[in-house]
Structure 1
């Protein structure tokens, strides 16, 4: 009898998580060229939590065998901080995992930048293609300048973010680090990034850039690149102490529709390779739990 009750409880929690997800559920010297190796104090992570801005107070429990439990095991065995946010395309709510939640956007911000630039002037298509598929910093700088640079460019990129449901992220108007682009230092939380990703294919005139996100060069096919149909963009760069943050966001297929994913890793070693390896492991976790995650579609 006890075993039956436990099985029923686990089933109810999995259903609750699935229902939640169904109703709702990076530019410096780093982002253009992939740096070289190195290797990385165990940390802990809570069970998955719902975005605090969501309506219902539904939450998921780290039931053995669930994505929440497996993510907890992953982070406890990892040397560094990591975070993951998941949301159905067109959805209203998300779930988040891990102890990393916010940091510089790095080249992931090139997605709204490219959308804004192509809306303003379609003749910059080749620069947009290089900025997205190869994460080329020079091409992205050209897109930024085409929008007027400074306050005008920042506002144009913010406008795209607002269309995607991100009402908080502010794009810097001036350079904050001599060794980094202006726009790449925008503070972008995983929650705001996944919310934007969940609306990205629904934004007017986003099709060309979303299509470019499916043509990422082979050397940057880590993380979400493991999913054959993924549309994604990565970003990476060092903090002032030289320790790398590696992050990525995009869209993948599930049996019930498209899912928006945003994740990031900051290894204790500070190396790009260790951060990349952590994203690979998170992608493997997601792959093993796709059946739990309800997808969605644009309205």
Structure 2
């Protein structure tokens, strides 16, 4: 039976930073490798699903046998269980949008709960970082800012990544190109205050599902798998998740958002966009709710549509 408890030795930014700082090697940046699923890791030589050793980053998930889909049976099962979950929190606002990696072209994401129209906030640092890495050609000094921006949601590091893309207009264009490259064909990025650009959950999961398969995004995904201690909530508690956190405050109430690439084992991987807003409007309360959603999700893996790169 698959273990659903969070692991206690999730990789952190300090442990992976040495690997990420080797960003100056173009060949390493574009190398083609694969990430094993949780089941494949568990059956490896060490017999464990994860290790305390630092491993070089890998570029994407394994290729599959065909495009993934979301079956009616999977959708209905998740909808039913979701209703049971949210009934426990009638005064909270919760949502989850998901799309299997390697989904058939045109597959509509599955939306559980009301998926709000929100600014991308800190989660938009991911396509900004992807654009900066690609512009550097593997020779730019973006490794340190990449770690700080994605692990610690550092605004100054993100601003430096943005500036490395040129003028505000050039940076917005480059970030949108990164979004399009990974499968988000709709999101528009503001030239000023780019983190306030609206990023719909459905578009976010299209991007995340595509990001999982981009060889050039290996360092991005490695940074997403190494959260700072103060970022350990929601899916960050699970070793098989790569995450980016964001917070949006509207009229004094904070919505916590998490973009996730989740390894569900044998079937493959799924992209998630999860939001939570608590009754009291506090960020900390929303983080607790998002952690509860993650716990719920880890007990639904048999019903989760997942896939592998085409």
Query: After TM superposition, is the score higher than 0.5?
Result: yes
Q: Distance in 2 between matches of 1:115 and 1:62?
A: 31
Shift of 1:104: 0.8
Select which of 79, 82, 92 maps to 1:71: 82
Residue 115 of structure 1 corresponds to which residue in structure 2?
Answer: 130
Q: Distance in 2 between matches of 1:164 and 1:62?
A: 24
Residue 191 of structure 1 corresponds to which residue in structure 2?
Answer: 202
> How many equivalent pairs are there?
236
Residue 82 of structure 1 corresponds to which residue in structure 2?
Answer: 94
Q: Distance in 2 between matches of 1:60 and 1:100?
A: 21
TM-score normalised according to structure 1 size: 0.74
Q: Distance in 2 between matches of 1:258 and 1:80?
A: 28
Shift of 1:166: 0.8
Any stretches of 5+ residues in structure 1 without a counterpart?
1-21, 26-57, 175-181
Aligned CA RMSD, in angstroms, stands at 1.8
Select which of 23, 27, 32 maps to 2:68: 23
Q: More relative contact order in 1 or in 2 (CA 8 Å, sep 6+)?
A: 2
Q: Distance in 2 between matches of 1:88 and 1:237?
A: 26
Q: Does 1:243 align with 2:253?
A: yes
Residue 117 of structure 2 corresponds to which residue in structure 1?
Answer: 102
TM-score normalised according to structure 2 size: 0.72
Residue 140 of structure 1 corresponds to which residue in structure 2?
Answer: 158
1:67–1:285 CA contact under 8 A, matched in 2: no
Q: Distance in 2 between matches of 1:268 and 1:124?
A: 39
Shift of 1:91: 1.1
Residue 31 of structure 1 corresponds to which residue in structure 2?
Answer: none
Q: Distance in 1 between matches of 2:162 and 2:212?
A: 22
SS in 2 for 1:116: helix
Q: Distance in 1 between matches of 2:232 and 2:145?
A: 20
Moved over 4 A (4+): 58-63
SS in 2 for 1:224: helix
2:75–2:110 CA contact under 8 A, matched in 1: no
Q: Distance in 2 between matches of 1:149 and 1:282?
A: 39
Shift of 1:87: 1.4
Shift of 1:149: 3.8
Shift of 1:142: 0.7
